[in-house]
Amino acid sequence: MTSRPSASSEACYRHPERESYVLCQRCGNIICGQCQVPAAVGSHCPDCAAAGAPRAAGLAKRRAPGSYRPTATYVLLGILIAVYAAQLLSGGWVTELLLYWPPLTAIEPWRMVTAVFVHSTSSFFHLLFNGFSLYVLGTLVEKLVGRGRFVTLFLLAGFGGSVAVLWLAPSSAVVGASGAVFGLFGALFVIQRSFGGANVQLLIVLALNLVMGFVVPGISWQAHIGGLIVGALVAWIMVATRAASQRTAQKVLLVAVAGGLIAISALRLVI
């Protein structure tokens, strides 16, 4: 087993000049995109993939390093498109079933998450913008944190957007994945900063999108702010507990974030 380079604690163990967030699910070595070998859960480094059983070694050979596919991003995009088609074919029934309206929180709390997957049927650009943003940001973030963490991040950020709507716009009905998308913005910002990278271009894009929420009618800036904050928080937890020995702590903290969002929602319902 090759040890991690001492020059940088955030560098690929094979390519010290390349920073990465992804850890090998077996040995915990940091691996860049070129060295990632997709596994059933997360990714393996080339050494662990080659040292596995013959069947596993054969799979690693077929899936050469650098061939990582953001499967979770594609699946989420497929769900958004499928739900949108169902919205159109159902004559609005699916939209009414899944959208989030704060007065229904106590009796149908799942809407705080399902609203992420429905979009306005009056304008295809709503789905197009969110879908394109998910594709661009998702392919980046998923490769950095892995499939399971990426889905967790996406759903928690979407949930956080609904919590913000509950507190700041309690009479508004909302649909769309923009809260979760802004969570990906926040996550990418935090991860890049943890590498010491410059965030100027990302901040400009983020600022422009935030401003649009305040000046364009019909956009829920509350969901954007909520998703952004939660996405940044989740990413900070993932960065702070990135070592293989901290996996349990990471899971506990992410569950705590979900519990905190539930508690904040419950508090709003009783005051």
CATH code of the domain in which 263 resides: 1.20.1540.10
114 lies in the same domain as 47: no
103 lies in the same domain as 223: yes
232 lies in the same domain as 218: yes
3-class secondary-structure state, position 70? coil
53 lies in the same domain as 106: no
Boundary-marking domain end, from 46, 68, 90: 68
Instruction: Compute the distance between CA of residue 60 and CA of residue 49 in angstroms, rounded to an integer.
Output: 6
Instruction: Compute the distance between CA of residue 39 and CA of residue 69 in angstroms, rounded to an integer.
Output: 11
81 lies in the same domain as 34: no
247 lies in the same domain as 113: yes
Boundary-marking domain end, from 68, 88, 110: 68
User: Residue 7: what pLDDT?
Assistant: 36
The domain of 14 spans 1-68
Boundary-marking domain end, from 68, 86, 115: 68
200 lies in the same domain as 259: yes
64 lies in the same domain as 117: no
What is the residue-wise DSSP string for 34-50?
A: TT-EE-SSSEE-HHHHH
Residue 265 annotated in active site: no
User: Residue 196: what pLDDT?
Assistant: 72
140 lies in the same domain as 23: no
Contact assessment for residue 46 and residue 22, using Cβ atoms and an 8 Å cutoff:
no
253 lies in the same domain as 136: yes
pTM equals 0.77
Share the mean pLDDT of the chain.
Answer: 86
78 lies in the same domain as 180: yes
Residue 224 annotated in active site: yes
Question: Phi first, then psi: what are they for 164, rounded to 5°?
Answer: -65, -40
34 lies in the same domain as 81: no
User: Residue 55: what pLDDT?
Assistant: 37
Counting the structural domains of the chain, the total is 2
Q: What is the pLDDT along the chain (271 residues), one digit of tens a residue?
A: 433 333 344 678 888 877 677 777 677 778 888 888 876 545 778 877 776 534 333 333 344 445 678 999 999 999 999 999 999 999 999 999 999 999 999 999 999 999 999 999 998 999 999 999 999 999 999 998 999 999 999 999 999 999 999 999 999 999 999 999 999 999 999 998 887 766 777 888 888 888 887 877 788 999 999 999 999 999 999 999 988 889 999 999 999 999 999 999 999 999 8
User: Residue 66: what pLDDT?
Assistant: 54
Catalytic hit among 119, 133, 224, 265: 224
Instruction: Compute the distance between CA of residue 251 and CA of residue 254 in angstroms, rounded to an integer.
Output: 5
User: Residue 33: what pLDDT?
Assistant: 80
Catalytic hit among 43, 178, 220, 265: 178
